[in-house]
C-alpha cells in the first residue's frame, strides 16, 4: 500500500529549519493525541470497525491520494461504515444509501456542521461563505439570501440573455477553430464561457478578444489550484496544534490564490458601495434600476447596518462570490468534459443525443433554454455522467454537533464524517451493472419527473447524491442545470465532434474536491447547422 500520508509528513518535517522545532513537533503531536483520546475514551469501544494505525500518527501514513477508491476498498473490508484515526482526527466514512439517509435526513441538524479544512476557511474568508460556515443563524442568513436573491427563478429568467450571448460567442469561436482545423480544449472552452456568464451575472464584467484567452486561462489555473488545495491532505488539519507552522505551505499558497481573486473582486465591491451610498451619481440610477448580484448583496449589506436580523458582512459577500465563481465555473466545465469524453467513447450516445436535439430544435435555429425541458435523453446522459464521474466524489466533510448514533455505532462530537458518493453511485446493491454507462437507467418512470441533478429532494433516493442532500445540499443546482444543459445541447446541435487523428481516448481521473480527467479532452468540431449565418 502506498505510503502517501507518510511522505506527506516526512516532507513537512524536512521543511523545518531547526532541530528544536522538530523535537517540539513530537511533543505537540503527543499532547494533541492525548487530548483527543481523553475526550473520546468513553465511546471508543462503540466506534465503527476499522484498520489499526500507528501510535501518534494513526492510519495517516497509509492513506493514498485517490481517497474515493481508497475508502471504497476499506469499506469492502470493514463494511459500509468504518472509522480510522488520521493523526488526532477521528474519521468515520460511510458508503451506503441508508447511512447517507441517516446523515442527510433523519439526523440532518446534528450533521449539518462542516468539518472545514484550513484551506476551506481561507477560501471562505474565515468561514464566511455558504460552504464552510458552521450551521446556525449566520449560515441560514447566507443561504436564504443565496436562494432568494441569487438563485431565484425570476433572476435566472432575467439573466438568460447573458447565457445566450456567451453561448453564441462560444459557437462563433468554435467555428473559427473549425476553419483553422485545430483541436479544441473542451474544458477550457466551457470554463471561459461559464466564467463570462458568472462574472456578467455578478458584476457585469466579461472577457473578450485576446483577454478572453489570456485571462481566462489564468483564471482557470487559479481556480483549479484552489480546488486542488481544498482536497490536499494537510498536516495542519490532522494535527490542529501544528496549524500555526503551516508545515506544507497549504495556508500560504491558498492565501496567495485567494488574494489573486480578491484583486479582481475588491474593486467591484468598492464601486458598488459608492453606487449604494450615492457617491457615483453617473451610475447610481442605472445600477439600482437593474442591479446585478453584487449590487443586490451590497444593498442588503447597507440595509443590514440598521437591521441586525438582515446583517450581511463584507466577508460574507466575498465568500459567497467566491463560491459562485469557483462552483459555477469548475463544476460546469468538469461535467461538460466528462460528458463529451463519454460520447467520444460511445459515439452512438452522441448520435442519439444529437437526434433528440435536432427533433426538438431543428437545424435552422439555435438552441434556447425553453427547449431544454424536452431533452429527456440528454438529461439522462448528464445524470449518468454525474453518477459515474461525480464532480465531488467525496462530499464536503461533516462534523456532528453532539455525540450521536449512526448505523448502530456511537459517533463522538467533533468527529469527521465523510460520505463517499463515488462508492454509493457504484454500489451493485443499488445499481444494476453499476460500472456500465447506461443513460437509459434514468429514463424509467421512477426518474423522468425527478430534478435534473438530484433525485433525493423529491423521493429521498439516496442512491444518487452528486451534490449532497439535506440542509447543506448545493444551492447552485438551478443555475448549474441551465448552464450544463444549454452548453451541451448547443455543442451537440452546432457541431459534430471527433478526436484528433491518431489520438487515443483515456478516461483516467485524478482525485480532488472535484474529480477531473488526467489528460484534458481535445476534440475537433465540424459545423452541422444548415444556415452558416448562425455561426456569426
Compute, in degrees rounded to 10, the torsion defined by CA atoms 134, 138, 143, 145: -160
> What H or E segment, with its residue span, contains residue 418?
strand 416-419
Q: Which residues pair with 92 in a beta bridge?
A: 83, 417
Cα 307 to the chain's mean position, in Å?
A: 33
Binding residues: 474
Residue pair 56/30 in contact by the 8 Å Cβ criterion: yes
Torsion 56-58-60-62 (CA) sign: positive
* Helices 293-304/281-289 angle, 10° precision: 100
Cell matching residue 377: 435523453
Distance CA 379, CA 356 (A): 11
Residue 420 · residue 72 · CB < 8 Å: yes
Predicted confidence at residue 289, as pLDDT, reads 52
pLDDT of residue 2: 43
Note every long-range contact of 152-155, with CB atoms under 8 Å and residues 24 or more positions apart, other chains counting: 153/478, 155/293
Annotated binding site for heme: 474
Q: Which residues pair with 416 in a beta bridge?
A: 91
Dihedral sign of CA atoms 12, 17, 21, 22 in order: positive
- For the chain, 536 residues long, the average pLDDT of each consecutive 10-residue run is 51 46 53 54 74 93 93 97 96 97 96 96 91 93 92 94 95 85 91 94 83 82 91 91 94 96 92 81 50 90 67 90 92 96 97 98 95 96 95 93 96 97 95 96 66 45 92 93 97 96 90 84 94 88
175 near 325, Cβ under 8 Å?
no
Report d(CA 242, CA 229) in Å as an integer. 18
Reported as half-sphere exposure (CB side, CA atoms, 13 A), residue 386 has a value of: 27
pLDDT of residue 305: 62
What are the pLDDT digits (tens) for 343-371?
999 999 999 999 999 999 999 999 999 99
Which residues have a Cβ under 8 Å from the Cβ of 434 and sit 6 or more positions away? 425, 426, 427, 428
pLDDT value, residue 30: 55
Question: Degrees (nearest 5) of the Cα angle 63, 520, 173?
Answer: 150
Chain centroid to CA 419: 15
Give 176-186 pLDDT, tens digit per residue: 877 777 899 99
pLDDT at position 279 is 64
Three-state secondary structure of 263-298: HHHHHHHHHHHHHHCCCCHHHHHHHHHCCCHHHHHH
Q: What interhelical angle do 314-326 and 186-203 show, nearest 10?
A: 150
Task: Please enumerate in sequence order all residues whose Cβ is within 8 A of that of 69, keeping only pairs 6 or more positions apart, or say none.
Answer: 422, 511
CA-to-CA separations, 388 to 29, 433, 482, in angstroms, rounded: 39, 12, 21
The model's pTM:
0.89
- Say how many C-beta atoms besides its own lie within 10 A of residue 42's C-beta: 11
Strand order of the sheet with strand 81-86?
A: 81-86, 89-94, 416-419, 398-399, 113-114
Distance between CA 331 and CA 320 in Å, rounded? 16
Query: H or E stretch including 497?
Result: strand 495-498
d(CA 279, CA 275): 6
Output the pLDDT for position 212.
77
Per residue in 214-236, is it b (16+ CB within 10 Å) or e — as a string?
eebeebbebbbebbbbbbbbbbb
| Structural element, H or E, at residue 93 | strand 89-94
Q: What is the largest CA-CA distance in the chain?
A: 74
What's residue 20's pLDDT?
40
122: β partners:
none
- Residue 34 confidence (pLDDT): 55
Amino acid at each position: 500500500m502506498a505510503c502517501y500520508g507518510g511522505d506527506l509528513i516526512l516532507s513537512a518535517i524536512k521543511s523545518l529549519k531547526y532541530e528544536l522545532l522538530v523535537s517540539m513537533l513530537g511533543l505537540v503531536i503527543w499532547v494533541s493525541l492525548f487530548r483527543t483520546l481523553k475526550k473520546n475514551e468513553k465511546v471508543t469501544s462503540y466506534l465503527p470497525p476499522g484498520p489499526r494505525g500507528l501510535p501518534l500518527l494513526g492510519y495517516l501514513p497509509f492513506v493514498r491520494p485517490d481517497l474515493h477508491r481508497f475508502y471504497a476498498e476499506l469499506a469492502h473490508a470493514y463494511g459500509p461504515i468504518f472509522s480510522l484515526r488520521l493523526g488526532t482526527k477521528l474519521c468515520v466514512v460511510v458508503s451506503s444509501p441508508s447511512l447517507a439517509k441517516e446523515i442527510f435526513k433523519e439526523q440532518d441538524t446534528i450533521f449539518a456542521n462542516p468539518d472545514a479544512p484550513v484551506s476551506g476557511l481561507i477560501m471562505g474568508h474565515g468561514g464566511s461563505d455558504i460552504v464552510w460556515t458552521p450551521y446556525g443563524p449566520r449560515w441560514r442568513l447566507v443561504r436564504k439570501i443565496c436562494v432568494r436573491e441569487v438563485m431565484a427563478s425570476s433572476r435566472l429568467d432575467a439573466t438568460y440573455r447573458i447565457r445566450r450571448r456567451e453561448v453564441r460567442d462560444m459557437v462563433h469561436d468554435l467555428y473559427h477553430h473549425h476553419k483553422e482545423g485545430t483541436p479544441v480544449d473542451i474544458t477550457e472552452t466551457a470554463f471561459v464561457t461559464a466564467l463570462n456568464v458568472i462574472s456578467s451575472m455578478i458584476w457585469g464584467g466579461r472577457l473578450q478578444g485576446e483577454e478572453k484567452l489570456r485571462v481566462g486561462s489564468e483564471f482557470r489555473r487559479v481556480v483549479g489550484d484552489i480546488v486542488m488545495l481544498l482536497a490536499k491532505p494537510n498536516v495542519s488539519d490532522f494535527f490542529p496544534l501544528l496549524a500555526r507552522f503551516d508545515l506544507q505551505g497549504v495556508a500560504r499558497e491558498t492565501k496567495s490564490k485567494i488574494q489573486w481573486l480578491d484583486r479582481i473582486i475588491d474593486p467591484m465591491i468598492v464601486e458598488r458601495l459608492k453606487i449604494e451610498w450615492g457617491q457615483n451619481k453617473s451610475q447610481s440610477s442605472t445600477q439600482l434600476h437593474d442591479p446585478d448580484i453584487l449590487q443586490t448583496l451590497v444593498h442588503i449589506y447597507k440595509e443590514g447596518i440598521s437591521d441586525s436580523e438582515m446583517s450581511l458582512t463584507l466577508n460574507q459577500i466575498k465568500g459567497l462570490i467566491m463560491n459562485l465563481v469557483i462552483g459555477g465555473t469548475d463544476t460546469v466545465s468538469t461535467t461538460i468534459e466528462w460528458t463529451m469524453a463519454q460520447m467520444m467513447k460511445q459515439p452512438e450516445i452522441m448520435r442519439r443525443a444529437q437526434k433528440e436535439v435536432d427533433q426538438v430544435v431543428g437545424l435552422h435555429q439555435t438552441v434556447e433554454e425553453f427547449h431544454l425541458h424536452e431533452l429527456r435523453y440528454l438529461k439522462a446522459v448528464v445524470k449518468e455522467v454525474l453518477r459515474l464521474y461525480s464532480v465531488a466524489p467525496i462530499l464536503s466533510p461533516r462534523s456532528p454537533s453532539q455525540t450521536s448514533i449512526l448505523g448502530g455505532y456511537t459517533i463522538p462530537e467533533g468527529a469527521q464524517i465523510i460520505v463517499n458518493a463515488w462508492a454509493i453511485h457504484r454500489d451493485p446493491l443499488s445499481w444494476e451493472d453499476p460500472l456500465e454507462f447506461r443513460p437509459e437507467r434514468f429514463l424509467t418512470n421512477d426518474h423522468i419527473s425527478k430534478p435534473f441533478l438530484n433525485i433525493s429532494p423529491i423521493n429521498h433516493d439516496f442512491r444518487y447524491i452528486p451534490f449532497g442532500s439535506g440542509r447543506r445540499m448545493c444551492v447552485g443546482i438551478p443555475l448549474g442545470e441551465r448552464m450544463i444543459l444549454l452548453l451541451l445541447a448547443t455543442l451537440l446541435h452546432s457541431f459534430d465532434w471527433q478526436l484528433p487523428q491518431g489520438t487515443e481516448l483515456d478516461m483516467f481521473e485524478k482525485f480532488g474536491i472535484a474529480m477531473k480527467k488526467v489528460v484534458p479532452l481535445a476534440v475537433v468540431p465540424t459545423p452541422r447547422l444548415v444556415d452558416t449565418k448562425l455561426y456569426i
